[in-house]
Amino acid sequence: MARTAGYVDGSELMLFVDTSTGGTTATYKPTLAAKSHKVSYKTSTKEIVTKDTVGGKWKHRSVSSVDVSISVDALTRVGEATNGVSDTELMKMLKDAKSVKLRFGFKASSTGDTCEEGLFVVTALDQTSNAGEETSYSATFENDGEVKTITLSTSGITGTATT
């Protein structure tokens, strides 16, 4: 489904975590009670200076790696979390020190829409608990390999995809 031209409301985008325990079928759930997400792409470069460089002033650069980080700010929720991934589950993922598969895209996705998908490591989880306010947390994920733009082959971001 083609999206109409215009600005994107931030509440339309969501981070989804694969909660399956292996096998061939992924089970994606959104981060529970999310208030905001941030996706950062950054390259690491190295300088290349050769004798061919005119006057030695101008450097050439070569990309040596691409880093992707995703962060989520959310409210802490206690109790049955069947409809999403809680900070408690993210803490377990961090302590397990294993990569998790993430998807980031429109939460109301349709066949033909795209999203970003890849393996990530939970690198930080911070909890904030101020008096008189809801407890919140912030989690950060960093890529563990390639992050691909995929096209969804079934309706919904939790469906199957092709690269």
Contact (CB, 8 A) for 74 and 32: yes
* CA gap 153, 39 in Å, rounded: 24
* CA gap 27, 47 in Å, rounded: 42
Q: Where are the domains of the chain?
A: 10-40+68-162
How do 136-152 and 114-128 pair as beta strands?
Answer: antiparallel
* Biggest CA-to-CA distance, the chain: 66
Q: What is the pLDDT of residue 51?
A: 75
Task: Of 85, 62, 96, give the one whose Cα is nearest residue 15.
Answer: 85
Contact (CB, 8 A) for 67 and 43: yes
CATH 2.60.120 fits 10-40+68-162, yes or no: no
Read off the DSSP letter of residue 98: -
Q: Which amino acid would we find at residue 29?
A: K
pTM of the model: 0.84
Contact (CB, 8 A) for 105 and 13: yes
Which tens digits make up the pLDDT trace of 81-123?
568 888 989 999 999 999 999 999 888 777 778 889 999 999 9
* CA gap 112, 154 in Å, rounded: 8
Which tens digits make up the pLDDT trace of 16-70?
999 887 767 788 889 988 999 999 999 999 988 777 766 667 778 899 999 999 9
